[in-house]
Structure 1
Amino acid sequence: MKTSTDRMLTRIKSIYLYIKKRGSVSTKELVEEFGTTQRTIQRDLNVLVYNKLVDSPKRGKWTTTNRKTKVS
C-alpha cells in the first residue's frame, strides 16, 4: 500500500503530465479529471509553481513552463 506522500507525488506528476499534454487546462478540468477537491488540486499546483514547472498566465488556467524536466 502506498503512503499518502507517494500518492500525492504520483498525483502531482500526473497533473504535470496532463497539463503538458493538453497545453492549457483549467483548475475545474483538473478537479474533474483527477476526482479530487479543488483545494487538493490547488495544493498540488502550488508545488508545481514552487518548482517552476507550471504557470497561470490567466486566473484559473494553467500551462507548463519551458523548464527542462526528466520524467521517470
Structure 2
Amino acid sequence: MNHATSRMLTRVKAVYLYIREKGTVTTKEIADEFGTTDRTVQRDLNILTHNGLVKSPVRGKWKITAKPVNIS
C-alpha cells in the first residue's frame, strides 16, 4: 500500500472515531478538527457511507450507524 493510501485510510478511521465520540457532527466541524477542506472530508464520508458506517439524517450532519465495527 502506498503512503498516500495509508494516510487516507488513517484519516478515514480517525473521522469515524471522531463522529462516534461526538455523536452528531457537521462536515465543517470535521474539516476544522482535521485541518482539511470540506471536499476532503466529503470524500472520506463517502467512503464511510459506502461501507454503511455513517449516515446523514440531516443534510450536512453525520452520525454513525448501528453496524458493528471491529477497530484494530
Give the alignment's TM-score, normalised by structure 1: 0.96
Whole-Å Cα distance in 2 between the matches of residues 54 and 3 of structure 1? 25
Q: Please list the CA deviations of residues 18-46 of structure 1 after superposition, one character each: whole Å capped at 9, or x if unmatched.
A: 00010100000001000011110000000
Residue 29 (structure 1) aligns with: 29
CA distance in 2, matches of 1:39, 1:22: 21
Find the counterpart in structure 2 of residue 18 from structure 1: 18
Quote the offset at 1:17 in angstroms.
Answer: 0.3
What is the CA–CA distance in structure 2 between the aligned matches of 1:18 and 1:68, rounded to whole Å?
16
TM-align CA RMSD: 0.9
User: Whole-Å Cα distance in 2 between the matches of residues 62 and 39 of structure 1?
Assistant: 15
Consecutive unaligned residues of structure 2, counting only runs of 5 or more, are none
What count of residue pairs does the alignment treat as equivalent? 71
SS state of the match for residue 57, structure 2? Answer: strand
